Amino acid sequence: LADQLTPRSAAQTLVGYQENHQIELFMQEMLSVVFALLPEDPFEYMTYHLASNRPAPPPPQDEPLCGSGALWVMLPGGDPLCAEHWRLRRCWLSKEGTFCISTSTASVTKSDSGGLFINPQEEAQPQQMPVEPGFTFRQLDEDEAARPFA
């Protein structure tokens, strides 16, 4: 693959990869929390944050999709202007017209010796919303939400 990439196609591939996984936004958010909290062990905190807040992996390849990506999703009853009320989640649109949001998260616990136990993401059923004629989504403006592309 590397021998087939030109600088332009490599850049396009990286931009698409970043947009699909929202890595830059996730890391910026994690670092802003680290600098706000100043935890005693920032690396342990970042390990915990990565494990407990990462979006679920993409849906199985056997499910026909129109598209998939990591999107900021507000917690039920959350305040759109409060950054803590948003979570990065894996979302996809099925060919049947269902918008799905994965709610799977890893469980992270601290051992008595101070290490972290990271259990794999639970296989929770995704939240499903049928997209029917007349159904609309609206992107919030920057002054309406604490997260980009909300």
- 56: exposed, middle or buried (Cβ count in 10 Å: 0-12, 13-18, 19+): buried
**pTM here?**
0.63
Would you state the pLDDT for residue 132? 83
Q: What is the pLDDT of residues 62-119, one digit of tens each?
A: 777 888 888 888 888 999 998 888 888 888 888 888 888 887 776 777 777 777 777 7
Q: What is the pLDDT of residues 2-48, one digit of tens each?
A: 567 787 888 888 888 887 777 888 888 889 889 988 999 999 889 88
| Burial call 111-131: b when 16+ CB within 10 Å, e when fewer | eeeeeeeeeebeeeebeeeee
Give ∠ CA 25-28-33 in degrees, rounded to 5: 125
Would you state the pLDDT for residue 40? 94
Say whether pLDDT at 1 is over 60: no
